[in-house]
Amino acid sequence: MDQTRTDRFKTAILLLAVIGLITGLAFYLAGMGDIANIVWFAGVVPALAALAVEILRSIRRGEVGLDIVAALSMTAALVFGETLAAAVVAVMYSGGTFLESFAEGRARREMHDLLSRVPRTATRHRNGGLEDVRLDEIAPGDRLLIRQGNVVPVDSTVASEAALSDTSALTGESLPVRLSRGAEAMSGSTNAGDAFDLAASRRAAESTYAGIVRLVEEAQASKAPMSRLADRWSLGFLAVTVTIAFAALRIAPHEPATQKPRAVSNGQADIPEGVTP
């Protein structure tokens, strides 16, 4: 629920920034520049406030990212009256966070679907009968019954004459695969035919499907190589950015003004007093 509210908040920030940018452009093109500046300013403030909160949270965790550059860009643009530039940066920032949130939400849904396929119990042959046991109780050599529609709980070998296995969740193969006695049955595959028996060859924690789940969880918890590289050099990049900005600020006022040509009267240029032509 908290993640859903966060996603909606990021969506709202993006909408405010986009609406502010487009509405401001409409007022500007209509010749109402003052109103356009107010609208652009109003569209930037929510994005800048959200970014400031995110930066403070990152610093509290001991992380410093490139978001500070975006915050400085918007702040400086507002201070110097460049509200249009600030609005463009606000749209870029909020759009990036929205896309990141969308990708994370999709990954969470896929992870939920992946975990929902993991069986919690299995049916084991025991002393001429059947018993339901937890997956961590299954040992190599146990004979398991896989009913129609059930998911194979651990890596096993087929102990019946034949089996029909749906491995689409593992390999993407849409057609069921017919397995004969002694063939390997991967955990995570689904029984697409009649019930059959398996002989467990690995424990649940060592099986194929458990390994896939671990890899996905590790991938979600870690950052991409480019993201780690950006975070590693973020302070240096921030220092370079601030240095260039201050250098440009100091140089700009001292640029020599272009001297306009003097007016010409009666074919002669105006001559300052006290100067003999």
- 3 state DSSP class of 267: coil
| Residues 165-180: tens digit of each pLDDT | 998 877 877 888 899 9
Q: Is the predicted pLDDT of residue 261 greater than 50, yes or no?
A: no
- Name the pTM for this structure: 0.60
By CB neighbour count within 10 A (0-12 exposed, 13-18 middle, 19+ buried), where does 75 fall? middle
Distance in angstroms (rounded) separating the CA atoms of residues 129 and 146? 14
| Residues 22-47: tens digit of each pLDDT | 999 999 999 998 999 999 999 999 99
Write out the H or E segment, with its range, that includes residue 25: helix 2-29
Write out the H or E segment, with its range, that includes residue 268: strand 268-269
